[in-house]
Structure 1
Amino acid sequence: MSEPTVKALEENVARRNIEHAKARGVENGKDVSTEKRTWKNYFWDSWDKSPEERRLIFKADSTLLAFACLGTFVKYLDRSNINNAFVSGMKEEMSLYGNELIHANSYYYIGGLIGLWPINLLLTRTNPRYLIPSLELGWTLATFGQAKMTTADHMYALRALVGLFEYGHFSAVMYLCGAWYQKAELGRRMGLINAATAIGPMISAYLQAAAYNGLDGKGAMSGWRWLFIVDGIISIGVLLPQFFVLPDVPSRQKKDWIFTEQDIELARDRNPIEGRIKQGRFTLFQIKRWLVTPEIWLLWIISFSSSVGFYPSNSMSFWFKAWNSIKPGSYTVGQINAYTTPIYAMDLLQMLLFGWLSDTLFRGRRWPSLLIGCSINLLVVILLAATPVFPKHRAFRFFLYTQTSWGTAASTMFWAWTNEILKGDPATRAFAGAGLNIWAGIAVSTIPLGVFQTVQQPAVTAGNWTAAGFLILEILATSALAYWSHRKHKRLINDDNVHQEAEIVYSDQGTAVDSKVPATTVDSKASATAVESKVSETTIF
């Protein structure tokens, strides 16, 4: 046995000897948190835990969850501000009378697509405490820069930079949550994080209204320019503390001023499949395997379809602005920004609803929420496509726009599903999670160019029918993945040769170290293969 292997084995045994509380919701090396619980869990999951586990969850919530929500909030604040600025004077001041806005959004997604996979795979090898806030710093500087842009080319370049740094953030925090929380805890927390995606645009609209009314002309700058400065200041306040408090994944977490050795060991025990796995050097075989995993492709289809299905909601601000062409003076700039916020308020409530239902009544199943959300969204989009854009009575169409978020609200569930289906292989989780954002970016940077063009807004009937078609595809893909996962789960239950709670270290040489079984050297193919939620006595499958 090599010296590094012996040393790692000794360290593993020493860590196991640290006295710590027993993890609840874990039996025979399996996460049974959705089965073993009391009535308290329906309100908040940590209420039926031991004092030690409640303390650990509180620490994780106060650091990881809190800043995941705040970071996601400022991300969507800085992401959506371009749309609020556009209808608040930027269009006229910069002479953007064509499809420049939609092209700017495409550049945003192109920048994101370039950086997404490298950023998320880097997360499996580096400390999120430094990587995640560094991403936030990058897009914050680009946000400040947008306050000074004067041409469409400036806008394209800055939006590409915002996308480059922003786009990897969401999948990064979702990946980190998947390593810390149990199945009965994950849906609700991802619902809270996803709710921040609705709060950001909603607050951005109110900030733009306030900036337009209170700061327009101050410092020789228009109100829409002040929005970018205010957003940047808020972002700085959120990102700086993260350099000191964000945790690493449990397998790499070291004792610090927040987490004790006992906390860390308990966190590892709570995640029996992946709590002690460390990702080493990537292999070509590992990358090839990712590309032929059916579950990953089905998840990506769901993400792509969900993004197209939500796009009709973007027509709402154009709809209000278009009424001014039909009847001048119908809506002021402040009203246009404020009246679009009910979409995000509904989105927020729906995300929380699906998160709680998924963890409680649906017992950790993610597909029911997805099917319910997509079905309601499908009906709404069909009605938008089939009814007049400018009806005599505006209330019904206004109501339809506010209901276009059901599908994207349920998208929280495919993020939780990704972390659960692929748990046991950190790199695969990171790769698949990044892919969710990549395919969502491809969807919203290509499909709108054909059927949601700015010059056609809000009369995008073809776009609404296209969204309906993709929502049907999402329903089919969700059903297929639910069936596939059920079949796979049954096969794993019948596997009697499973050794639980293995501690594995993927070394650069492909060495597997287990504190309970002899260390075994496996080839690069074996070390790269997914654990599939189980670990054999001597070999990683």
Structure 2
Amino acid sequence: MKGFLPHLRVLPEELERNHSDVSLSSVDIHEEVSQSAKKDEETKTEALENESQEPQSLQSGIPYELRDEKGRKWWKYFDEFEYRANSEYKKSRNWYTFLYPNHTTQTKSERRLLYKLDLMIGVYFLMLCWCKSLDTSNYSNAYFSGMQKELNMTKNDYINTVAISNVGAIVLQLPFMYILPRFPAHLILPIMDLGWSFFTFACYRAHSLAELRAYRFMVSAFGSAYYPVSQYVLGSWYAPDEISSRVCLFFCGQLLGGVTSGLLQARTYKDLNGVHGISGWRWMFLIDGIAISIPCAIIGFFVIPGIPSKCYSLFLSDEEIRVARARNRRNQINDGVAKNKLLPLLSWKIWKKIFFTPAFWVLVVFDTCSWNNMTAFSGSFLFWLQNDHNYSVVTINNLSVLPACLGFVFVFLCAWGADLFRCKWVFMVFSQIMNCVSCAILIKWDVANSTKWFAFLITYFSVAASPCLWSFINDFLRLDPQLRAVTWIAIYSFSQSTYAWIPTLAWKTVEQPRFKTGYTVSLVFSAVYGLWTFVVLYFYKRNEKKNALGNGIILYNSDNGEAAPAFIETQMEKKGEYYYVKDKENEASYKNDF
């Protein structure tokens, strides 16, 4: 029976260590982490405080590049991966294999692992995001398909209901600061998704605005787990030059929801409106909750693999799990830590580490801009179609899919381009320039109808940068699993909380269809977003330079009178262009020579 249910995978070598009285915790899988872990609380907190001051451990089998920064050019500032990957890592991937490289282990197992991961978590998160987006888009489509009249929604009731729904997501998101590093994702997500499915289904029976708002609040509350848990899992399996493409799949699910919602709502309204005395918009919530969301939640229990150090997958082989762990060691990704090594959530040491780190506030501003520049999800296109054109309900629902369809192209362009060229910032800035053009046209408003169509059709450039944004955040937070969980939720909750009230001021329903205030606010956030990318790039590179040794780069600057570190002679040997650790037993002793 165990073979058919998700269970913690224990490799043969771990069983041997167990027989030798060595712990089987996830930390033991990463030997360099286990050696530095301490049992008592005082030492753990001291280690957390001094984490950034300690040099990283050398690893056997990893090629190290010795790099003299003498005469470094100013334009290297724009080389995003300058300190994130050494020259061997960059050269070992052909450009056409950027989606499926095997440059860490140089084995077929690595590529096979990526194939399986894309089928399991890539496609599944796409499907789950599609469900979530379908439900969100259903609200907009239902509003224009009879819900507005049936529930007597007037003035700003539309946007206020959205704001109330967002509050639900923020409130229930906070407990995941504690839950994420302690409990397996293959249990967290399906349980939350079942609650989300139930209240989505319940929306069909809403007979008053207050009742609808209560259901929408609960839908968002149970859906709050999706974004942080999915990003936590993705960041645990994929390398920094692979993850944007996988987050792209995630956002394609969001776009797919926008496309299919309009089409399904149009078909449902046409075929089922009034059947058994149930309105067409109510049928959509019924279909969404029962036929789509519940099956997705059940599938998640079987396909979400956990994290490499605590793998629950039924579909990965032992060799593929070893490869995943080797990739994480090479890429400096610490995906998990034993529960007895975690600090209490209310420990001041954690919050001091977060709030007194400049990068945290830089990322908060970054994510806040990404939440509030999104004209794509304002519903403004639908209002324009309804007010300025004599279209039927079915036609409006069908036309509503056009911007989202083009959004697929925009998202793929930015996400795949970022991984192909190892350069996220270029595509982030480009997407925000395009969004500013869209907002500027719609602010002016008195333009040719074709120009207005163009502006609406490129609104999804506002979301095209999101895969790159989340990849940046994942890479910033990869070194400490607990800090990663807490910081992810803190950033996400803070920025999402602004989205709960800014739209109520910027996108007032009474201003439709022009929404001049909304487009102006989006233009400002989009411009700041694009410019802030250079600030993020600065802190990212500063962070990676500090961790360059862990990235396989041994830095020194002869311009400043520095010489190559002494441990190169005592602990390493040169093979071709690169240096390797001589003997595994000597890995820990090199610090005396550092």
Task: Please give the TM-score of this superposition, normalised by the length of structure 2.
Answer: 0.76
Cα distance, 1:465 vs structure 2 = 1.2
- Work out the percentage of aligned pairs sharing the same amino acid: 25
Is 1:321 equivalent to 2:378 in the alignment? no
Show the counterpart of 2:357: 293
Match among 169, 174, 182 for residue 226 of structure 2: 169
Q: CA deviation at 1:303?
A: 1.7
- Change in Cα spacing, 1:277 to 1:221, as seen in structure 2 (3 Å) is closer
CA deviations on 1:42-98 (whole Å, 9 max, x unpaired) are 464469952111222222222111211111111111122111100111001111012
CA deviation string 1:415-468 (max 9, x = no partner):
001111221111222233334432442232211211211121112112211111
Q: Which residue of 1 aligns with 2:337?
A: 278
Pair 1:345-2:410 in alignment: no
Cα separation, 2, equivalents of 1:188 and 1:13: 28
**Aligned counterparts of 1:53 and 1:476: Cα–Cα separation in 2:** 37
Once residues 98 and 144 of structure 2 are traced to their aligned partners in structure 1, the CA distance between those partners, rounded to angstroms, is 43
Structure possessing the higher relative contact order (Cα contacts under 8 Å, 6 or more residues apart) = 2
| Equivalent AA in structure 2 for residue 243 of structure 1 | F
Structure 1 residue aligned with 2:538: 483
- The range that moved more, 37-46 or 227-236, is 37-46
Aligned pairs for 1:93-492 (under 5 A) are 93-232=150-289, 233-253=291-311, 257-272=314-329, 273-275=332-334, 277-278=336-337, 280-282=342-344, 283-311=347-375, 313-323=378-388, 330-361=390-421, 363=422, 365-388=423-446, 393-492=448-547
Within the candidate set 10, 19, 36, 2:92 is matched to: 36
Measured after TM superposition, the shift of residue 37 of structure 1 is: 0.3
For 1:533, the equivalent position in structure 2 comes to: none
Give the CA deviation at 1:181: 0.7
2:119 paired with 1:59: no
Q: Which amino acid aligns with 1:309?
A: N
For 1:319, the aligned partner's letter is W
Q: Which amino acid aligns with 2:385?
A: F
- Once the two structures are superposed, the pairs formed by residues 515-534 of structure 1 within 5 Å of their partners are none
Q: In the alignment, residue 157 of structure 1 is paired with which amino acid?
A: A
User: Which stretches in structure 1 are left out of the alignment for 5+ residues?
Assistant: 18-22, 325-329, 500-514, 520-535
Q: After alignment, is 46-55 or 201-210 more displaced?
A: 46-55
Q: 134-143 vs 48-57, which deviates more?
A: 48-57
Letter in 1 for 2:239: Q
Instruction: Give the 3-state SS of the residue equivalent to 1:147 in structure 2.
Output: helix
Which deviations, in whole Å up to 9, do the C-alpha atoms of 1:494-530 show, x marking residues without a partner? 486999xxxxxxxxxxxxxxx97999xxxxxxxxxxx
Who is 1:507 aligned against?
Answer: none
Q: Deviations over 1:383-421 (max 9, x none)?
A: 110132xx6x52221220111121311111110011112
Secondary structure of the equivalent of 2:387? helix
Rate the CA distance shift 1:13–1:80 in 2: closer, same or farther, 3 A. Answer: closer
Kindly name which structure, 1 or 2, has the bigger radius of gyration based on alpha carbons. Answer: 2
Per the alignment, residue 529 of structure 1 pairs with none
Cα distance in 1 for residues equivalent to 2:335 and 2:506: 48
Which residue of the partner structure matches residue 502 of structure 1? none
Count of residues in correspondence between the two structures: 489
- The 1-side partners of 2:264 and 2:437 are apart by 32
* Secondary structure of the corresponding residue to residue 125 of structure 1: coil
Distance 1:119 1:341 in 2: 34
Question: 2: CA distance between counterparts of 1:137 and 1:110?
Answer: 20
Aligned-residue RMSD, C-alpha: 3.2
Q: Which runs of 5+ in 2 are unaligned?
A: 1-16, 32-58, 66-83, 549-554, 557-564, 569-583
What residue in structure 1 maps to residue 73 of structure 2? none
